[in-house]
Chain A
Amino acid sequence: MKQDINMFLIAENNFSVLNRIVNILNRRRVRIRRISAHEEPDNFRRGSVSMVIHTTTDMAEKVKLQLEKLIEVEAVSYHLQPPLLETLAVTTMNYPMAASATQIL
């Protein structure tokens, strides 16, 4: 059953990395309902992406593994509870003193 799933990635902030991420989802025809990406406040070489995708958990798991294969991608997680990662993503942006998104996670 398709449902809204929050997916969160941490990656090196290279040119085209966002394209690579979106390409994987597009190729699997996974609908992206919302996406936001940003550099880490004190380290432009690292960034994170949070998105809400509409798909099955089975597909989310397959997409996660394919995203993890991308050379620049450091970590991928997904959760069914919508508010959690939204909150984390917003927290990351609101607390620039945090050294990294992983600290918050």
Chain B
Amino acid sequence: MDVLPMKNKDEYLLSGAEILLQGLVAEGVDTLFGYPGGAIMPVYDALYDYNDRLRHILVRHEQGAVHAAQGYARASGRVGVALATSGPGATNLITGLADAMIDSTPIVCITGQVFAHLLGTDAFQEIDVVNTTNPVTKWNVQVTEAADIVPALSKAFFIARTGRPGPVLVDITKNAQNERITPPEYRPCRSLRTYSPKPELQPSQVLAAAALINEAKRPYLLAGQGVILSGGTDALRAFAEKTGIPVACTLLGLGAFPTGHPLYAGFLGMHGNYAANVNTNVCDLIIAVGMRFDDRVTGNVATYARQARIIHVDIDKAEINKIVRADVAVHADAREALEALTAQCLPNRHDEWLSSFRQLSEVEDAKVMRQEALRDGPVRMTEVVHDLFRQAPENTIIVTDVGQHQMVTSRYFGFLRPRTHITSGGAGTMGFALPAAIGAALAMPGTPVVAVVGDGGFQMTMQELGTIMQYRIPVKIVLLNNSFLGMVRQWQQLFHGARYSFTEIENPDFVQVARAYNIPATRIDQREELPDVIQDLLAAEGPFFLEVVVAKEDNVFPMVPAGAGVADMLLELPVTRAPIQTE
């Protein structure tokens, strides 16, 4: 009888790096966005054998990795994962971490770190990543022993995806990645003693809120991203249709309620719709669901909805009474709260109140939209977005950067489904769109993904064209080129006497740049070409780059000037050339 060869004891051991990758697989991770370097080399070495289970996307900069992970998470609802090395690799993640923190995006970033015995010695590429990222992570941890990798990783995923989602960073020293130990069983974290992610819905809060809703004459629902994150879009629609209450969406809430619905009241915020903003100061009840009264939504808080009672539904208790004092606070998951409120509220209609939105919309239509629809002179951003909306399939994911093009897209692209609008909201991160679109496209294969970008923000992360080239990621890019940092220029025009201080840009030949990355590209500056070229863009099987040369000094209206109240929206340029005075 043959004797089976005895395995060397070491063959039963796994390195910390392998244990990490097994943990990622156990968490259901299929895609990693990363960039290798010295302190994370053991993980990359182990990745070589995990090609069949983990798809690694080599980005061109760690900021691209974290934004791609964000785009992946926002499009799919799953946790996005980014890898980076120590020192500058880790600090390059910080903008994305801050962005994910304020926009409640579930991501886990794994960073390599120098050997444990070198911590605090100013070793090569050693930066105190945990303390550096403290303010921009929901949680972070440093692991210095292989045995601690599994508990840290399972806790990281649990924290990132539960409650109000957010970014988590796990920093692993190189010795922990190299250390070989008997692999522990991977047990996903289900609870933590000091963390209660989902508050229990309190019936008393629901009854108090329902009582206010049932007696209100001009109730108004403001839907934020919390509705989408909770999977509550159907619940929102059912609530609105039963109670007849108009619904407006915040920037990140776009897609929570279909824009074509008769109860859709518009887009809130500094460049939102006129009716949606002005009627905030007319309604008698605000039902704020999964939104945090960002200053871009409230304008001057001192004059915000003073006449109205406020119901604030939020999963994050620290958001309640933070900016606007709530008459009734419902500390709960948005979907659960909406379902409970639907059961408690009486069927109702508010026809007169709804018609006031239509009347105010006519004002915006006359002053803004009809002017923008005049098809003369240079191409305008609004035309491009309008044509894109007209031709794009309903499930198209639109990813925007930050600036004028972002506001125009938010206003004119009619978002009909949740998770079809991805943008950098709270942080306002220029350069977000291109890598986020990469992440969205990889998360949702077969779904069209269009990145709408400006010429300023695009140049902050345009090296990610290389990532698109290498993996043939079918991202469509629409660059609206006005050769200006448009939104800053608009503010300079309105508030600084048109002193255009360092906002005009001399740009490269973007089409040649895209072609250098083997991406089909075209430029147009005539509106007659728009329909056909957008058709080509959407029909392209792989990536496609479209540059549209638009009016240089176009403005986005309406606008709530910084420091003004929401009812003080500007619909057009003031007659005077003097700077508008704000607080």
Bin chain B's interface residue count: 20 to 34
Contact B130 A11 (CB under 8 A): no
Contact B135 A23 (CB under 8 A): yes
Of B141, B192, B194, B317, chain A has the most CB atoms within 10 Å of the CB of: B194
Contact A16 B130 (CB under 8 A): yes
Contact A62 B322 (CB under 8 A): yes
From the candidates A11, A12, A16, A74, name the one contacting B134 in the complex (CB within 8 A). Answer: A16
From the candidates B139, B192, B316, B318, name the one contacting A62 in the complex (CB within 8 A). Answer: B318
**Does residue A72 face the partner (Cβ distance < 8 Å to B)?**
yes
Q: Which A residues between 63 and 99 are near B, CB-CB below 8 angstroms?
A: 65-66, 68-69, 71-74
A68–B194 alpha-carbon span in the complex (Å): 9
Q: Which residues of A have CB within 8 Å of B316?
A: 69
A14–B131 alpha-carbon span in the complex (Å): 13
Q: Which residues of B have CB within 8 Å of A72?
A: 194
Decide yes or no: A15 and B142 within 8 Å by CB, A71-B192, A74-B193 being known contacts. yes
Contact B318 A71 (CB under 8 A): no
A36–B139 alpha-carbon span in the complex (Å): 23
Contact B131 A65 (CB under 8 A): no
Q: Which B residues between 148 and 198 are near A, CB-CB below 8 angstroms?
A: 159, 192-195
Contact B139 A71 (CB under 8 A): yes
A70–B547 alpha-carbon span in the complex (Å): 45
Give the number of A-B contacts (CB < 8 Å).
40
Q: Which residues of A have CB within 8 Å of B131?
A: 16, 19
Q: Which B residues between 130 and 148 are near A, CB-CB below 8 angstroms?
A: 130-131, 134-135, 138-142
Contact B135 A27 (CB under 8 A): yes
Q: How far is the CB of A57 from chain B (nearest CB, A)?
A: 13
A-facing mask of B467-490, CB < 8 A → 1, else 0?
A: 000000000000000000000000
Contact B135 A71 (CB under 8 A): no
Q: Which A residues between 44 and 75 are near B, CB-CB below 8 angstroms?
A: 61-62, 65-66, 68-69, 71-74
Contact B142 A71 (CB under 8 A): no
Decide yes or no: A71 and B194 within 8 Å by CB, A15-B142, A62-B318, A62-B322 being known contacts. yes
**Does residue A38 face the partner (Cβ distance < 8 Å to B)?**
no
Contact B318 A74 (CB under 8 A): no
Contact A71 B134 (CB under 8 A): no
Q: How far is the CB of A55 from chain B (nearest CB, A)?
A: 15
Q: Which residues of B have CB within 8 Å of A69?
A: 316-318
From the candidates B139, B318, B322, name the one contacting A68 in the complex (CB within 8 A). Answer: B318
A residues with a Cβ closer than 8 A to B are: 11-12, 14-16, 19-20, 23, 27, 61-62, 65-66, 68-69, 71-74
